[in-house]
Amino acid sequence: MNELLSQIAHCIEFGKVDKNSPYPPDMKGQDGAKELTELALESGIPAENILNNAMLTGMKRVGEKFRDGKIYVPNVLIAAKAMSTSMELLKPYFLSGEVKHKGNVILGTVAGDLHDIGKNLVKMVLEGGGWNVIDLGVDVTSAKFLSELSNNSDVDAVGLSALLTTTMLNMKVIISDIKSQFPHIPVLVGGAPLSSEYSEKIGADFYSPNPQDALEYLNSKIM
Within 10 A of 197 (CB to CB), how many other CB atoms are there?
8
Q: Does 153 score more than 70 pLDDT?
A: yes
The tens digit of pLDDT for each residue in 31-73 reads 999 999 999 999 999 998 998 899 989 988 998 998 899 998 8
Same domain, residue pair 108 and 56:
no
Name the domain boundary from 69, 96, 123.
Answer: 96
Confidence of residue 6 (pLDDT cuts 50, 70, 90): very high
Residue finishing a domain among 96, 117, 142: 96
Query: CB 220: neighbour CB atoms within 10 A?
Result: 8
Residues 84 and 134 in one domain: no
Rounded mean pLDDT of 195-217?
93
pTM for the full model?
0.77
Q: What is the mean pLDDT of residues 132-143?
A: 96
**What range does the domain containing 48 cover?**
2-96
> Does 175 lie in the same domain as 134?
yes
pLDDT averaged over the chain?
Answer: 92
Overall average pLDDT of the 131-136 stretch: 94
108 and 47 fall within a common domain: no
Confidence at residue 223, expressed as pLDDT on a 0 to 100 scale = 64
> Are 112 and 204 found together in one domain?
yes
By the 8 A CB rule, do 140 and 112 touch?
Answer: no
Per-residue pLDDT, averaged over 136-150, amounts to 97
Tally of CB atoms within 10 A around 20: 10
Average pLDDT over residues 210-214: 89
Nearest to 125 by CA among 187, 61, 68: 61
Of 70, 96, 122, which one is at a domain's C-terminal end? 96
The type of residue at 155 is: V
Q: Does 223 or 96 have the greater pLDDT score?
A: 96
CA 122 to chain centre: 5
On whether both 116 and 212 belong to a single domain, the answer is: yes
pLDDT of residue 200: 95
Cα 47 to the chain's mean position, in Å? Answer: 19
Give 168-185 pLDDT, tens digit per residue: 999 999 999 999 999 999
Are 140 and 201 in the same domain?
yes
Looking at residue 174, its pLDDT comes to 97
SS3 of 138-169: CCECHHHHHHHHHHCCCEEEEEEECCCCCHHH
pLDDT value at 97 more than 80 = no
Same-domain pairing of 67 and 141? no
Residues 40 and 124 in one domain: no
Same domain, 195 and 128: yes
Mark whether 15 and 44 lie in a shared domain.
yes
Number of domains, the chain = 2
Q: What is the pLDDT of residue 1?
A: 62
Which pLDDT value is given to residue 157?
97
Q: What is the CATH number of the domain that holds 60?
A: 1.10.1240.10
Using alpha carbons, list the distances in angstroms from residue 223 to 92, 119, 198, 217: 24, 22, 26, 10
Q: For position 143, which CATH number holds?
A: 3.40.50.280
Predicted confidence band of residue 99 (pLDDT cuts 50, 70, 90): confident
Percent of the chain surpassing pLDDT 90: 70
Confidence at residue 98, expressed as pLDDT on a 0 to 100 scale: 80
Residues 213 and 112 in one domain: yes
